[in-house]
């Protein structure tokens, strides 16, 4: 095995990193309860030539793993000598969550609901604040990679503010199954980036707690398209006649009756108002409730967990799905 050098840093100063090289960095952002460093693994491909900084983040939810593999392949696979600009791949934002195989930080807070965090406060808030301050601020563009939560599955879909031209462009270039127009929520990482003037999208790469080979390849192709489009690499985005579906919003439906749940439609299925979409059975096997689609839409995600206490999720429905092309105008 070749000896691989890892840099351990307290601050990440992209400008100070040698050009034309791949850097493997452990960024020390906090200390754990016995005074050991909690360090975030970051791959930086610092291009030989000038250009923008594209950031890609994975595992802000600790059980969302597909993005880790996308970043390894993308950033580890480019030749920094060919690169105009800098690729920053944050392999795991929520390191304590990854180790605990859970969505939340180790104080049970969802990091993607408290951005930009606080300089002084509870553990999750400080950790996230330092990460945004030391890493995200240096980015010109951000792609935040996610998956569904435990007990649910997602389509390959993008959330983006489609009124923001650069974000809309990055969204289309993913060639996703679905795009959900979603103005940035201030408390997500995407919202925080947008508030800093950084165009940002969220890409949902299907299912948690595993590496899904095909999905990782699709995710990689989408991010590579953005590299070509931003001029970080010579070439043009690979888009043929692909279409996607743009929804003007989305929402989850919930059960109002407990019992063993079976959800009928699959992700990307179209549903019509009044369609039966799920049923709950008693433990004895009798159907005690049928659930119907509240309106027309498309299935963005769905529950696969039969254990349904009253108030569990059923379907993530995209509103008003309209076909659109993934192609973007040349710059």
Q: Measured from the CB of residue 104, what is the shortest distance to Zn ion in angstroms?
A: 11
Distance between CA atoms of 314 and 78, rounded to whole angstroms? 41
Distance between CA atoms of 279 and 47, rounded to whole angstroms? 54
DSSP letters, 139-156, are -SEEEEEE---TTEEE-E
Q: Residue 82's CB: how many other CB atoms inside 10 A?
A: 15
Nearer to Zn ion, 129 or 146 (CB): 146
Nearer to Zn ion, 86 or 112 (CB): 112
Nearer to Zn ion, 193 or 233 (CB): 193
Q: Measured from the CB of residue 25, what is the shortest distance to Zn ion in angstroms?
A: 23
Distance between CA atoms of 161 and 71, rounded to whole angstroms? 23
Distance between CA atoms of 90 and 109, rounded to whole angstroms? 20
Nearer to Zn ion, 78 or 128 (CB): 128
Q: Measured from the CB of residue 88, what is the shortest distance to Zn ion in angstroms?
A: 19
Q: Measured from the CB of residue 52, what is the shortest distance to Zn ion in angstroms?
A: 25
Residue nearest to Zn ion (CB): 146
Q: Measured from the CB of residue 114, what is the shortest distance to Zn ion in angstroms?
A: 14
Nearer to Zn ion, 64 or 218 (CB): 64
Q: Which two tokens stand for residue 111?
A: 């990091």
Q: Which residue, chain included where needed, has tokens 């606080």?
A: 118
- Beta strands of the chain (E only): which ranges? 7-9, 21-31, 37-46, 49-58, 84-90, 141-146, 152-154, 156-160, 178-181, 200-205, 243-247, 250-254, 260-263, 270-271, 276-281, 287-292, 297-303, 313-318, 322-325
Nearer to Zn ion, 11 or 108 (CB): 108
Q: Measured from the CB of residue 305, what is the shortest distance to Zn ion in angstroms?
A: 17
Phi, psi of 157 (to 5 degrees): -135, 160
Nearer to Zn ion, 207 or 253 (CB): 207
Nearer to Zn ion, 153 or 278 (CB): 153
Q: Which two tokens stand for residue 313?
A: 């999720």
CB 146 within 8 A of CB 64: yes
Distance between CA atoms of 45 and 53, rounded to whole angstroms? 10
Q: Measured from the CB of residue 148, what is the shortest distance to Zn ion in angstroms?
A: 8
HEC readout, 85-128: EEEEEECCCCHHHHHCCCCCCCCCCCHHHCCCCCCCCCHHHHHH
Q: In the complex, which residues of this chain contact Zn ion (CB under 5 A)?
A: 61, 64, 146
- Put the strands of the sheet holding 260-263 in their side by side order: 260-263, 276-281, 287-292
Q: Residue 319's CB: how many other CB atoms inside 10 A?
A: 16
With 0-12 / 13-18 / 19 or more C-beta atoms within 10 angstroms meaning exposed / middle / buried, residue 4 is exposed
Q: Measured from the CB of residue 301, what is the shortest distance to Zn ion in angstroms?
A: 11
Nearer to Zn ion, 136 or 277 (CB): 136
Q: Measured from the CB of residue 22, what is the shortest distance to Zn ion in angstroms?
A: 27
């Amino acid at each position: 095995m070749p000896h691989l050098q890892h840099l351990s840093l307290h601050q990440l100063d992209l400008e100070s990193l040698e050009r034309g090289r791949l850097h493997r960095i452990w960024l020390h952002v906090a200390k754990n309860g016995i005074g050991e460093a909690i360090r975030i693994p970051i791959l930086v491909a610092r291009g030989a030539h000038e250009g923008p900084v594209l950031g890609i983040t994975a595992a802000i939810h600790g059980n969302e793993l597909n993005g880790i593999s996308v970043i390894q392949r993308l950033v580890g696979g480019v030749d920094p000598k060919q690169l105009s600009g800098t690729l920053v791949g944050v392999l795991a934002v929520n390191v304590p969550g990854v180790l605990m195989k859970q969505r939340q930080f180790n104080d049970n807070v969802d990091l993607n609901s408290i951005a930009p965090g606080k300089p002084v406060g509870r553990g999750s808030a400080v950790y996230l604040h330092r990460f945004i301050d030391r890493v995200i601020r240096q980015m010109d563009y951000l792609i935040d990679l996610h998956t569904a939560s435990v007990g649910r599955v997602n389509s390959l879909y993008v959330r983006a503010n489609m009124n923001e031209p650069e974000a809309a462009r990055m969204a289309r270039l993913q060639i996703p199954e679905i795009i959900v127009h979603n103005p940035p929520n201030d408390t997500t990482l995407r919202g925080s980036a947008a508030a800093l003037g950084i165009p940002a999208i969220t890409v949902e790469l299907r299912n948690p707690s595993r590496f899904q080979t095909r999905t990782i390849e699709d995710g990689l192709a989408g991010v590579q398209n953005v590299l070509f489009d931003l001029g970080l690499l010579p070439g043009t985005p690979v888009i043929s006649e692909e279409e996607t579906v743009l929804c003007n919003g989305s929402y989850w439906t919930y059960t109002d009756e407990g019992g063993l749940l079976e959800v009928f439609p699959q992700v990307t299925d179209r549903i019509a108002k009044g369609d039966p979409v799920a049923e709950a059975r008693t433990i004895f096997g009798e159907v005690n409730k049928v659930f119907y689609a509240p309106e027309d839409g498309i299935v963005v995600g769905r529950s696969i967990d039969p254990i349904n206490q009253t108030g569990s999720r059923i379907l993530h429905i995209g509103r008003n799905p309209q076909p659109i092309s993934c192609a973007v105008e040349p710059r």
